[in-house]
């Protein structure tokens, strides 16, 4: 019975299996990046970068139609350009990172919407904004899995400088020249994972699978390693449940997966042992009595 | 032999000099306090030594030392205390120059980390998240990290501000330990009592050099008065400083 509910759709339909594989790849790749974004108080940066990718993907689409390669390369170029330009402006001028990033992503977003609305149809816009998780072909799946592998490997290699860059950037700068490299490698990972995510979930929803599980994990684990494990688990669980819900109730899959992750976040706020509401209340009771 | 030599050193921000034409030498193995009124350029001078700030004019020469031989404790660390790090994690950062991004900690280094934590008086706090530390405990942890950096030149920028007497005494022990091992220690300090009691050498700064030498000869009422006057004179645009650019 339970078996049927949870496994039958995946056993019966290839597109469900593909959707699941795609979502799991994104969970593995994007969520650890999301944990670091959250810890660096850059959660909204993910959102900004996702918007910044839009014109690149749109130009790719204009040149080559619904081509995986063109849209991926376009998205990567646009995302990296915004990341580099805003990073450069922050390091060279008096403007802080949040302001310079906001400026560039807004320009990029306006350009993207302009291109999509003058040249494309509404269907295309929906594809770019919300993805097509139920229609992932072999090439896209290969791309998603490759990006997830590359991202995991890079995080493993850069783990120590990344933690230092987040926790005490001044110290890292004083002992090593890796600070700048680490910062831009990290931004590149953000862009890479968002580009992967937008094929499946769309540019807007891709940020959801990056940030929501990370925010939920904060309530369950104290260390960074634990947070990453919990966040990936939450993202995977949200993928499975979200896909099943969208299958049974004919809901659009991308937003359903993200909403399930959102419910996981809500439950974590209440029940999470590391600073959740109930944990805090019982701590207060402990001190009052 | 001097560990650090300043030659006509001018340091500043936006072309406003904060340190002006400083000529001084800090002896190798000395324990030196840098004193002076607010805005005298003390912190700026330390940043000039670390290389974080390039001179507008002149040189800082660190003889026989590379950047890797310098450990620096800034006045306000940029550490994000809400970051999920334990005391051990924070302290072990001090080994970065030895192990870099990929090196293995190993049992020997683990023991050195424990020793550094003990020397800073934080034994028992190893697993505590840094967010739960008080100001004094945090300073102890940062000193433990400095200990592990094993640097020949240690630069401390107001290391004892807003910590209690007990913590300060413990940390001064650490500083004396460094001095005993022949390391060069330079500390920016405000409390002249502390300077008199623990720092044999003093450099008094008011954008320009006021006096440098044995503490008793530097920390005189006359010098302090002169330093205050020089700083007030320098509060205006740089050309009223009284020295021509030549």
Contacts with A17 (C-beta within 8 Å, 6 or more apart), sequence order: A10
Q: Tell whether the torsion through CA atoms of B98, B100, B103 and B105 is positive or negative.
A: positive
Residues of B within an 8 Å Cβ radius of A = 50, 52, 68, 72, 74, 77-80, 83-86, 89-90, 93, 96-97, 100-102, 129, 145, 149
- With beta carbons under 8 A apart, name residues in chain A contacting B85: 163, 167
In a domain, B144, yes or no: no
- With beta carbons under 8 A apart, name residues in chain B contacting A168: 77-80, 90, 93
> Quick one: pLDDT at residue B51?
84
Distance from CA of B68 to the nearest CA of A (A): 7
Percent of chain B surpassing pLDDT 70: 94
Say how far apart CA A143 and CA A26 lie, in whole Å: 11
| Helix pair angle (A43-64, A178-200), 10° resolution | 60
- With beta carbons under 8 A apart, name residues in chain B contacting A283: none
**Which residues are paired to B70 by β-bridges?**
B153
Distance from CA of B224 to the nearest CA of A (A): 33
The three-class DSSP label of residue A258 is helix
Query: DSSP readout, B113-167?
Result: HHHHHHHTT-TT-TTSBGGG--HHHHHHHHHHHHHHHT-SEEEEESTTTT--HHH
Kindly calculate the radius of gyration of chain B based on its CA atoms and give it in whole angstroms.
19
Confidence label for B246 from pLDDT (cuts 50, 70 and 90): very low
The three-class DSSP label of residue B103 is coil
Q: In the structure encoding, which two tokens stand for residue A24, read together?
A: 């799991």
Contacts with B167 (C-beta within 8 Å, 6 or more apart), sequence order: B121, B136, B137, B139, B140
Say how far apart CA B6 and CA A221 lie, in whole Å: 50
In a domain, B82, yes or no: no
Q: Which of A47, A69, A40, A18 is closest to A209 using CA atoms?
A: A47
Distance from CA of A223 to the nearest CA of B (A): 6
In a domain, B145, yes or no: no
Contact A223 B102 (CB under 8 A): no
Q: Does A173 touch chain B (CB under 8 A)?
A: yes
Of A39, A160, A173, the CB nearest to B83: A39
Q: Does A110 touch chain B (CB under 8 A)?
A: no
CATH number at residue A132: 1.10.3470.10
Among all chains, which residue has been given the structure tokens 């050309």?
B239
CA-based end-to-end distance of chain B: 29
Average pLDDT, chain B: 87
In a domain, A178, yes or no: yes
> Quick one: pLDDT at residue A125?
65
Say how far apart CA B80 and CA A35 lie, in whole Å: 15
> Quick one: pLDDT at residue A123?
64
- With beta carbons under 8 A apart, name residues in chain A contacting B68: 175
In a domain, B56, yes or no: yes
| ipTM score assigned to the predicted complex | 0.81
Please, is B236 exposed, middle or buried when counting C-beta atoms within 10 Å of its C-beta (0-12, 13-18, 19+)?
exposed
In a domain, B118, yes or no: no
**Mean pLDDT of the B13-39 span:** 88
pTM: 0.85
Contacts with A161 (C-beta within 8 Å, 6 or more apart), sequence order: A172, A176, A178, A179, A181, A182, B101
The answer, yes or no, to whether residue B231 has pLDDT greater than 80, is no
> Quick one: pLDDT at residue A283?
83
Among all chains, which residue has been given the structure tokens 């005391």?
B87
> Quick one: pLDDT at residue B244?
45
The answer, yes or no, to whether residue B240 has pLDDT greater than 60, is no
Distance from CA of A161 to the nearest CA of B (A): 6
> Quick one: pLDDT at residue A280?
87
The three-class DSSP label of residue A225 is helix
Q: In the structure encoding, which two tokens stand for residue A27, read together?
A: 């969970």
What chain B residue is nearest to A227 in terms of C-alpha separation? B84
- With beta carbons under 8 A apart, name residues in chain B contacting A158: 101
In a domain, B76, yes or no: no
pLDDT in tens, B89-124: 999 999 998 888 888 888 899 999 999 999 999 999
Say how far apart CA A105 and CA A89 lie, in whole Å: 13
- With beta carbons under 8 A apart, name residues in chain A contacting B86: 223
In a domain, B150, yes or no: no
Residues 208-247 of A with CB under 8 A from B: 222-224, 227
- With beta carbons under 8 A apart, name residues in chain A contacting B97: 175-176
Contact A222 B50 (CB under 8 A): no
In a domain, A5, yes or no: no
Say how far apart CA B29 and CA B35 lie, in whole Å: 19
In a domain, A2, yes or no: no
Q: Structurally, how many domains does chain B consist of?
A: 1
Distance from CA of B9 to the nearest CA of A (A): 21
In a domain, B104, yes or no: no
Domain, as residue range, for B203: 1-65+185-246
Over its length of 289 residues, how does chain A's per-residue pLDDT go in tens digits? 777 888 888 888 888 999 999 999 999 999 999 999 999 888 888 888 888 888 888 888 778 776 788 888 988 999 999 888 888 888 788 888 888 888 988 898 888 888 877 776 666 666 666 777 777 888 889 999 999 999 999 999 999 999 998 898 888 888 888 888 998 899 999 999 998 988 888 877 889 999 999 999 999 998 899 999 999 999 999 999 999 999 999 988 888 999 999 999 999 999 999 888 998 888 888 777 6
Distance from CA of A281 to the nearest CA of B (A): 19
**Mean pLDDT of the B136-145 span:** 93
In a domain, A289, yes or no: no
Q: Does A153 touch chain B (CB under 8 A)?
A: no
Of B72, B77, B80, the CB nearest to A166: B80
In a domain, A288, yes or no: no
Distance from CA of A190 to the nearest CA of B (A): 20
Q: Tell whether the torsion through CA atoms of B80, B84, B88 and B94 is positive or negative.
A: negative
The residue that leads in pLDDT, A243 or B51, is A243
The answer to whether A167 touches B80, Cβ cutoff 8 Å, is yes
Domain, as residue range, for A229: 12-283
CATH number at residue B210: 3.40.50.300
> Quick one: pLDDT at residue B241?
47
Q: Structurally, how many domains does chain A consist of?
A: 1
> Quick one: pLDDT at residue B161?
86
Q: In the structure encoding, which two tokens stand for residue A216, read together?
A: 């939920």
> Quick one: pLDDT at residue B236?
55
**A84 CB neighbour count, 10 Å cutoff:** 14
> Quick one: pLDDT at residue B195?
93
Contact B79 A171 (CB under 8 A): yes
């Amino acid at each position: 019975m339970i078996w049927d509910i949870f496994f039958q759709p995946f056993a019966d339909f290839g597109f469900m299996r593909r959707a699941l594989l795609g979502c799991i790849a994104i969970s593995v790749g994007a969520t650890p990046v999301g944990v670091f974004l959250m810890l660096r108080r850059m959660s909204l940066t993910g959102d900004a970068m996702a918007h910044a990718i839009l014109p690149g993907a749109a130009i790719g689409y204009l040149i080559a139609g619904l081509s995986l390669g063109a849209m991926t390369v376009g998205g990567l170029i646009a995302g990296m350009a915004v990341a580099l330009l805003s990073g450069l402006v922050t390091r060279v001028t008096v403007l802080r990172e949040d302001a310079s990033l906001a400026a560039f992503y807004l320009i990029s977003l306006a350009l993207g919407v302009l291109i999509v609305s003058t040249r494309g149809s509404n269907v295309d816009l929906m594809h770019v904004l919300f993805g097509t998780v139920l229609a992932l072909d072999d090439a896209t799946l290969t791309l998603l899995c490759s990006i997830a592998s590359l991202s995991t490997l890079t995080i493993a290699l850069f783990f120590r400088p990344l933690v230092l860059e987040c926790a005490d950037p001044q110290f890292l700068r004083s002992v090593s020249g890796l600070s700048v490299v680490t910062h831009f490698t990290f931004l590149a990972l953000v862009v890479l994972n968002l580009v992967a995510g937008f094929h499946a979930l769309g540019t807007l929803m891709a940020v959801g699978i990056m940030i929501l599980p990370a925010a939920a994990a904060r309530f369950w684990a104290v260390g960074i390693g634990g947070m990453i494990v919990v966040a990936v688990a939450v993202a995977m669980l949200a993928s499975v449940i979200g896909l099943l819900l969208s299958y049974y109730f004919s809901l659009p899959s991308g937003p359903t997966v993200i909403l399930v992750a959102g419910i996981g976040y809500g439950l974590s706020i209440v029940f999470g042992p590391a600073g959740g509401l109930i944990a805090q209340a019982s701590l207060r009771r402990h001190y009052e009595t | 032999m001097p560990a650090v030599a300043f030659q006509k050193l001018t340091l500043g921000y936006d072309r406003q000099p904060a340190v002006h034409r400083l000529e001084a030498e800090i002896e190798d193995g000395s324990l030196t306090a840098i004193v002076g009124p607010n805005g005298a350029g003390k912190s700026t001078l330390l940043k000039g030594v670390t290389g974080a700030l390039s001179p507008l004019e002149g040189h800082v020469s660190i003889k026989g030392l590379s950047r890797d031989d310098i450990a620096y404790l800034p006045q306000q660390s940029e550490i994000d205390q809400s970051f999920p790090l334990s005391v051990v994690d924070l302290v072990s950062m001090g080994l970065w120059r030895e192990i870099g991004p990929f090196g293995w900690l190993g049992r020997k280094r683990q023991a050195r980390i424990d020793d550094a934590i003990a020397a800073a008086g934080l034994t028992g706090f190893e697993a505590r998240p840094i967010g739960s530390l008080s100001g004094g405990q945090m300073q102890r942890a940062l000193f433990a990290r400095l200990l592990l950096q094993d640097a020949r030149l240690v630069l401390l920028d107001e290391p004892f501000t807003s910590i209690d007497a007990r913590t300060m005494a413990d940390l001064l022990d650490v500083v004396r330990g460094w001095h005993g091992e022949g390391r060069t220690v330079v500390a920016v300090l405000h409390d002249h009592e502390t300077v008199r009691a623990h720092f044999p050498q003093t450099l008094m700064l008011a954008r320009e050099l006021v006096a440098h030498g044995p503490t008793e000869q530097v920390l005189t009422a006359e010098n302090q008065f002169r330093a205050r006057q020089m700083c007030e004179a320098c509060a205006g645009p740089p050309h009223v400083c009284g020295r021509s650019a030549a």
